[in-house]
Amino acid sequence: MKKIIATIVCTLCTFVICAQLVWLSVDKQPFAGTYSRNYHQLFTTWQNQAALAYLPAPAAGVSTERRFMLAAISTHRGAVAIPVTNGGFGLQLAQSGFPDFRRQSLGLAYGRKLGERLSMGLQMNYISQMIPGYFKVHAFVAEWGCLFHLTRQLHAGLHVFNPAGMRLKSLSDEQVPVIYSAGIGYEISPVFLLSAAVVKETAADLLTKVMCEYRIIPALSLQLGICTVPQLNTAALGLTVGQLYFLLTASHHPQLGVTPSGTVVWHLKKHSL
């Protein structure tokens, strides 16, 4: 009976989240700071590993998201980044689901500067999916990203997740989606960044997102984003207190409702937005 209930709930969850990119949570969709040189923070490295080349100090953080206020499809993450000469290493962990259906991932990443105008990053992920006592499947998935700094103010980036088209081997032989993204960011001033990105996932419509980040004061920033297909409006507030950085995010889908998200990042040295 437990297996039957778990199967029904998982099926319902799939129908609920099919209106949005299943493998892209709110935090995995692009932030404005992804396409920049001076607006990176720990969790922008989830979206493009080339950003690891620009983190100034070791950092560790956690993030949690409750998609559409449903506990069954909540996602929790942890990340660590360590800068090295001309680059940086990153470790990322994520878990989503509930006790009777769980998806987990573990990723190891490296980003490196290739001159003053270019950086690249690579990440290898171990992804697993399971219903306890019924099945567990896994796959190794790669992702790659690069950032171009065209001028001091204009930046662009490319990213691809699962370019080899790996599958989770099971009775259904589930395809891990291939996801391509590209974006551009313009630092209009030292306190205002405007960005735009497009994301294409296997068997999903093209997603377009326009974002901005405004540093109200050095310790406080406001982020806004408008997304199409699915329609998803996002607002985030970032706050720096000493060595801690807090990010509170809320996204709204017109049919499925609100998705809240919270992030806390600790930096080895005092961090400024």
> In which region does residue 38 sit, left (phi positive, over 0), alpha (psi from -120 to 50) or beta (all else)?
alpha
Task: Give me the CATH topology for the region 2-213.
Answer: Porin (2.40.160)
* Cα–Cα nearest to 162, from 183, 135, 144: 144
Give pTM, 2 decimals: 0.82
Residue 10 phi/psi, 5° resolution?
A: -60, -40
DSSP state for residue 47 in the 8-state scheme: T
- Kindly give the parts of the chain with pLDDT less than 70: 1-30, 170-173, 270-273
3-class secondary-structure state, position 20: coil
Q: Contact at 8 Å (CB) between 54 and 119?
A: yes
Q: How far is CA 116 from CA 37, 80, 146, 239, 244, in A?
A: 11, 25, 13, 29, 29
Residue-range domain boundaries for the chain: 2-213
The predicted structure's pLDDT at residue 12: 37
Rounded to whole angstroms, how far apart are CA atoms 226 and 209? 6
Rounded to whole angstroms, how far apart are CA atoms 210 and 233? 10
The predicted structure's pLDDT at residue 25: 42
The predicted structure's pLDDT at residue 51: 92
- Averaged pLDDT score across all residues of the chain: 83
